[in-house]
Amino acid sequence: MTHNQNRSTIIRIAIVFFALILISKLFYLQVISDKYAEKAASLSIRAVIEFPDRGLITDRNNEIIVFNEDAHDLVVHFPFNKKEFDLDEFCRLVRFSKNEVEERLANARSSRYNGKGLFIKNLSATEFARIQEGLFQFPQFSIESRSDRKYKHNIAAHTLGYVAEISRRELERDKKEYYDIGENIGKSGLERHYEELLRGVKGKKYYLKDNTGKLKERYENGKNDTKAAVGKQLMTSLDVLIQEYGEKLMAGKTGSVVAIEPSTGEILAMVTSPGYKPDMFAIKNLGKNYSKLASDPEKPLLNRATSSVYPPGSTFKVAMALIALQEEVITPNTRFSCSNGFHLGGLTVRCHSHASMPNVQYSIQTSCNAFYCNAYREILHQDKFKTIEEGYNNWRGYLVRMGLGSTLGTDISSEKPGNVPNAAYFHRIHGENKWNYARIISMSIGQGELLLSPMQMANMSAMVANRGYYYTPHFIRGENIPNDFTEKHETGIDAKHFTTVIDGMRAVMTNGTGAYVQIPGIEICGKTGTAQNPHGENHSIFIAFAPKDNPKIAIATVVENAGYGATWAAPICTLMIEKYINRDSVSQRPALENKMFTSAITDKTKHE
């Protein structure tokens, strides 16, 4: 065989060899491997999302508060084929100018996520009907339908929260596991905290599409489709009756009310004023209302029940009495002298006029400052403590166990911890162990550095009602309650000490500062407070629970810049207690009720 023949044979063998490799590769790609088949399919298949209805929200009696109505967005799918796009006809359909369409397309392209971008958000009913009818001409566009929130009872905005479009940061955090661009997510309140419960499960329907993007028949007859699952219903602990009533009572006032069922920790009502109606933050209304409310100087978006903190004033004497009794530095019959206040050298803490030697019960009834200044000295300077720091930390430990000075862990965000400073704070202010009870005496009567939220005050009232323990306040009720909300929190104070303190709180309502607002037929135990405010008029504060035995409701009210606790906070609390227990449409105190309904807190009305 010649050299040329050998060369020719080698070339033919090489050609056959490479042909066999090519055929094998094609066979593998087309028959064995489905990688490219899947890619081809992805270019010819469109998944249409079926959005589930969001779960309903009800009150404790299964009364619907929040339900759904349909909302629609127009979205554009990418890559976008302009050659097949009739711009003039599309402008007529959506009733936009060419420039506006081009601008919206550019925005949709720049913000696109997972192959689609938002073109029109929240179509009106008229827009939806018109665009849906002509959209078949524009296969690269589609309408996505989802739920917007509606409110049967337009109340409790700060508790319920709102739903809005997911942000880019939230999308990145989700890592495409559930959400897509333009979709909605709970942003605050219960809508946020219970998002996974409420949102449900999205479904998908797969369609074949032609080379223009127009949807054809179902892919594989729907074999790969998944059904949407409606979000679960959230039963809350709210009582619509007293929530609505509380919002009416607080109209024209600044402050908040929190009511709790002591035996469970379930929050019956949370009112913050001034506030806003939840339908203002429905998806279709959010854009025009959010900035207006956010810039309002009265701060209606602020949840004063959890995010504002105040000196608790004389309501704190209830906690002080319990600690002193538990530490055995006083007995129920201990008496401290009061000569119009507490006097130590040049220091004077003034007091109201009352009998000069009160015991524990009478000190609560009359709100004696001198009694608690003396009790504070006895608590902090016991012989068992080597330093003031030890005595102070022991006292502070009781408060922490009562849920004061730290967040309680409720199921809505924006909860502030308040302030029960540690000993290190006073070391920095006064020097290491160079201070004593007299330097921080104002804390003994609920002033000074001590700050609590209305939620914490209501929880303190629930703790007293329970004779020494509480459950973390929460809004969820029914089958899905987390274990954190069923755990009993013990304060370390023996139940026997509560008898004296509760008798004192009952005496407040029969012969003390709360007698003016007592409701006939209901044994209310309460304590008024007037908290000093360095920025203006004092705050009116009241805590209470009822009935005295087997309590059903514990409550706290703060009315800012309103003066005495008995004037504004106490009437609101007692009227709400009456409404919850009696559930009558007519109050036994109609004049008092009418005054609360119609009065706003102004310079003229503060001390009426």
CB count within 10 Å of CB 127 equals 16
> What pLDDT does 479 receive?
81
Task: Round to whole Å and give the CA distance between 508 and 315.
Answer: 11
Task: Quick: pLDDT tens for 288-342.
Answer: 899 999 999 999 999 999 999 999 999 999 999 999 999 999 999 999 989 888 8
pLDDT above 80: residue 343: yes
CB count within 10 Å of CB 222 equals 12
> What pLDDT does 44 receive?
78
Output 165 or 297, whichever has higher pLDDT.
297
Q: How is residue 158 written in tokens?
A: 């700060």
* Contact between residue 287 and residue 165 where contact means Cβ atoms under 8 Å apart: no
Task: Round to whole Å and give the CA distance between 86 and 108.
Answer: 18
Output 205 or 308, whichever has higher pLDDT.
308
> What pLDDT does 334 receive?
96
Q: Exposure string (b/e) for 5-14, b if CB count within 10 Å is 16 or more?
A: eeeeeeeeee
pLDDT above 60: residue 277: yes
> What pLDDT does 80 receive?
82
> What pLDDT does 535 receive?
75
> What pLDDT does 35 receive?
46
Q: What is the mean pLDDT of residues 121-141?
A: 89
pLDDT above 70: residue 13: no
In the chain the domains, ranked by start, together with CATH numbers, are 45-70+145-249+261-302 (3.90.1310.10), 303-598 (3.40.710.10)
How would residue 383 be classed by pLDDT, with cut points 50, 70 and 90? Answer: very high
Output 403 or 18, whichever has higher pLDDT.
403
- Output the average pLDDT for the chain: 89
Name the helix (H) or strand (E) containing 576: helix 569-582
> What pLDDT does 531 receive?
84
What phi and psi, each to the nearest 5 degrees, are found at residue 526? Answer: -145, 170
> What pLDDT does 1 receive?
54
> What pLDDT does 408 receive?
97
Task: Round to whole Å and give the CA distance between 181 and 102.
Answer: 20
The residue type found at 275 is G
* Contact between residue 266 and residue 260 where contact means Cβ atoms under 8 Å apart: yes
Q: What is the mean pLDDT of residues 548-560?
A: 97
Q: Considering the chain, what percentage of its residues have pLDDT values greater than 70?
A: 91
The residue type found at 478 is G
* Residue 525: C-alpha distances to residues 490, 509, 589, 590 (Å): 21, 6, 18, 21
How would residue 608 be classed by pLDDT, with cut points 50, 70 and 90? Answer: very low
> What pLDDT does 605 receive?
47
Name the helix (H) or strand (E) containing 217: strand 215-218
> What pLDDT does 18 receive?
59
> What pLDDT does 159 receive?
97
Beta bridge partners of 48: 205
Q: What is the dihedral of CA 63, 66, 72, 78, to 10 degrees?
A: -120
How many residues are recorded in the chain? 608
Task: Round to whole Å and give the CA distance between 491 and 395.
Answer: 12
Output 3 or 394, whichever has higher pLDDT.
394
pTM: 0.85
Q: What is the mean pLDDT of residues 572-578?
A: 97
Task: Quick: pLDDT tens for 327-340.
Answer: 999 999 999 989 88
Q: What is the mean pLDDT of residues 439-446?
A: 95
Task: Quick: pLDDT tens for 26-69.
Answer: 555 455 544 444 444 445 787 878 889 999 999 999 999 999 98
Task: Round to whole Å and give the CA distance between 76 and 138.
Answer: 10
The CA-to-CA distance between both ends of the chain, in Å, stands at 126
CB count within 10 Å of CB 514 equals 27
